[in-house]
Amino acid sequence: MANRPRIVLLGRQGSGKGTQSARLAAHLGVPHVSTGDLFRTAVRDGTALGRRVGDILDDGGLVPDDMVIEVVREHAARRGLDAGGYVLDGFPRTVVQAEAYFGTDAALTQAGHRPDVAVELDVPAELVLARLAARRVCPVDGWTTTVEDPTVEAVRCPDGHLAVQRPDDTPEAIGRRLALYEVETGPLGPWFAAHGLLARVDGTGDPDVVFQRILDELEPFLDRSPATTG
Ligand code: ADP
């Protein structure tokens, strides 16, 4: 297996993208970068960025491209992501973001950010609706679970905090986020495919099985990539 892989995870809200990204990053020993987490932390800490994006997040809208790109570039530089590898979760989310960050040339060589592969987790829209309604997240440490009875408002995370529904997991915000996904993020699958970098994975079923499918699909991309050897 190649060293320090650079992986983008794509998938609808509720596709398991966050969970699988964290597992993959831990398995490969590279940083997990979730733009959603970066924004939520900024909101929680009351930073200038947090004040600008708080309402957008709660409404289920998209943070403007230029702001997202700046945050990711700054984070990538600070954490040395290009040399150190990464699992990007939630970025890019528009073709504008992808072109600004990775470049527009065929090889996507801009600024040394080239990914080895983009994994698209396929989960039908009907299924993610049910998963999102049942999702409870700990606001302190991000621990996530799915409750069997969606009328249960909160459950304890292993550290004893209350895991609750995310403010953008209301039916209205979920509807907006899924619609935006189709229009803005959907085109990224074909975009990565056109660069020979797309691996599609069935995201339905047991999370352990999905994780193994991801590893199987990744292998040929990571083995052939010159960017990750040495
Ligand atoms: P989800 O995938 O369920 O929407 P995330 O945690 O990835 O959850 O993102 C939460 C919110 O953060 C998004 O609804 C959006 O408002 C904002 N966000 C995250 N990443 C981006 C991005 N790349 N571009 C624009 N907005 C983003």
Task: Read off the CATH number of the domain in which 69 is found.
Answer: 3.40.50.300
Is 170 within the bounds of a domain? yes
| Residue 229: per-residue pLDDT | 40
Q: Is 91 in the pocket of ligand 1 (CB under 6 A)?
A: yes
Residue pLDDT, tens place only, 189-222: 999 999 999 999 999 999 999 999 999 999 999 9
Q: Is 57 in the pocket of ligand 1 (CB under 6 A)?
A: yes
Is 230 within the bounds of a domain? no
pLDDT tier at 230, thresholds 50, 70, 90: very low
Between 3-7, 47-51, 107-111, 139-143, the lowest mean confidence (pLDDT) is in 107-111
Q: Per DSSP, what are the bridge partners of residue 87?
A: 7, 32
Residue 28 Cα to ligand 1 middle (Å): 24
Percentage of residues in the chain having pLDDT higher than 70: 97
Q: Which of 9, 34, 38, 57 to mutate to test the pocket of ligand 1 (most atoms within 8 A of CB)?
A: 57
Residue pLDDT, tens place only, 66-113: 999 999 999 999 988 888 899 999 999 999 999 999 998 887 877 778
pLDDT(228) > 50: no
DSSP 25-80: HHHHT--EEEHHHHHHHHHHHT-HHHHHHHHHHHHT----HHHHHHHHHHHHHHHT
Nearest CA among 102, 106, 105, 35 for reference residue 72: 35
The pTM score is 0.90
Structural domain that includes position 203? 6-224
Contacts 24+ apart (CB under 8 A), 43-50: 44/139
CA atoms within 13 A on the CB side of 101: 28
Is 13 within the bounds of a domain? yes
Is 1 within the bounds of a domain? no
Is 43 within the bounds of a domain? yes
Active site residues: 17, 93, 135, 166, 177
- Compute the distance between CA of residue 114 and CA of residue 137 in angstroms, rounded to an integer: 32
Is 116 within the bounds of a domain? yes
| Residue 226: per-residue pLDDT | 56
| Residue 1: per-residue pLDDT | 52
Residue 229 Cα to ligand 1 middle (Å): 31
- Compute the distance between CA of residue 6 and CA of residue 53 in angstroms, rounded to an integer: 27
Residue 225 Cα to ligand 1 middle (Å): 28
CB 11 within 8 A of CB 123: yes
pLDDT(40) > 60: yes
Is 145 within the bounds of a domain? yes
Average pLDDT over residues 57-73: 95
| Residue 2: per-residue pLDDT | 58
- Compute the distance between CA of residue 44 and CA of residue 174 in angstroms, rounded to an integer: 21
In whole numbers, what is the pLDDT of the chain averaged over residues? 92
List CB contacts of 55: < 8 A, sequence separation 6 or more.
Answer: none
pLDDT(7) > 60: yes
Per the structure, how many domains does the chain have? 1
- Compute the distance between CA of residue 58 and CA of residue 62 in angstroms, rounded to an integer: 10
Residue pLDDT, tens place only, 113-163: 889 999 999 999 889 988 898 999 998 888 999 999 989 999 999 999 999
